[in-house]
Amino acid sequence: MHVAAGTYRERVAIHTSGTQRAPITFIAEPGGKVSLTGGSNGFYVSNASWVTLAGFTIDGTTGYGISVINAAHVTVSRNRISRSGKRQPGALAAGIYLRDVSDSLVSKNTSFANSYAGILLTFGATRNVVRENVTHDNVSGYDRRAPGIRLYEAPDNTVTANVSYDNEDSGIEMYPGSTGALVSNNVVYGNGDHGIDVFRAPGARILANTVHGNRTAGINIEGGSGHSLIANNIAVDNGVASPRSKGNIRVDVDSVDGTTMNFDLVYLSTPPETANLPTSPETANPSYLVVWAGTGFVALHDLTVATGQENRGIWANPDWVNPAAGNYRLTSRSPGIDSADSNAPGQPGRDMVGHGRVDTRRAPNTGAGRVPFVDRGAFEFVGGKAK
Identify how many contiguous H helices and E strands the chain contains and give both numbers.
Answer: 1, 36
List, in sequence order, the alpha helices (H) in 250-334: 300-307
- Provide the sign of the torsion angle of the four alpha carbons 327, 329, 334, 335, taken in this order: positive
Q: How far apart are CA 85 and CA 222, in angstroms?
A: 30
CA distances from 30 to 6, 9, 106 (A): 12, 20, 20
What's this model's pTM, rounded to 2 decimal places? 0.95
Task: Specify whether the CB–CB gap between 223 and 200 falls below 8 A.
Answer: yes
- What is the DSSP annotation of 70-130? EEEEEEEES-EEE--B-SSTT-B--SEEEEEEES-EEES-EEES-SS-SEEEESS-BS-EE
- Mean pLDDT, the chain, whole residue set: 93
**Per-residue confidence (pLDDT) for residue 5, from 0 to 100:** 41
Per-residue pLDDT of the chain (387 residues; tens, 9 = 90+): 445 444 555 568 899 999 999 999 999 877 656 777 877 889 999 999 999 999 999 999 999 999 999 999 999 999 999 999 999 999 999 999 999 999 999 999 999 999 999 999 999 999 999 999 999 999 999 999 999 999 999 999 999 999 999 999 999 999 999 999 999 999 999 999 999 999 999 999 999 999 999 999 999 999 999 999 999 999 999 999 898 999 999 999 999 999 999 999 999 998 776 544 554 677 777 889 999 999 999 999 999 999 999 999 999 999 999 999 999 999 999 999 999 999 999 999 999 999 999 999 989 999 999 999 999 999 999 986 655
**Per-residue confidence (pLDDT) for residue 132, from 0 to 100:** 98
Q: Phi and psi (nearest 5°) for 281?
A: -70, 160
| Order of strands, sheet of 110-112, starting from the edge strand that comes earlier in the sequence | 6-8, 34-37, 57-59, 80-82, 110-112, 134-136, 163-165, 187-189, 210-212, 234-236, 265-267, 314-315
Q: How far apart are CA 95 and CA 139, in angstroms?
A: 11
Q: How far apart are CA 341 and CA 232, in angstroms?
A: 7
**Per-residue confidence (pLDDT) for residue 4, from 0 to 100:** 40
**Per-residue confidence (pLDDT) for residue 251, from 0 to 100:** 98
- What is the DSSP annotation of 229-266? EEES-EEES-STT-SS---SEEE-TTT-TT-EEES-EE
Task: Specify whether the CB–CB gap between 149 and 125 falls below 8 A.
Answer: no
Q: How far apart are CA 170 and CA 212, in angstroms?
A: 12
Cα 36 → chain centroid? 27
4-7 contacts, C-beta under 8 A, 24 or more apart: 4/29, 4/32, 4/34, 5/29, 5/31, 5/32, 5/33, 5/34, 6/32, 6/34, 6/35, 7/35, 7/36, 7/37
Q: How far apart are CA 38 and CA 60, in angstroms?
A: 5
CA distances from 229 to 129, 172, 192 (A): 19, 16, 24
**Per-residue confidence (pLDDT) for residue 217, from 0 to 100:** 98
User: Which helix H or strand E contains 285, and what residues bound it?
Assistant: none
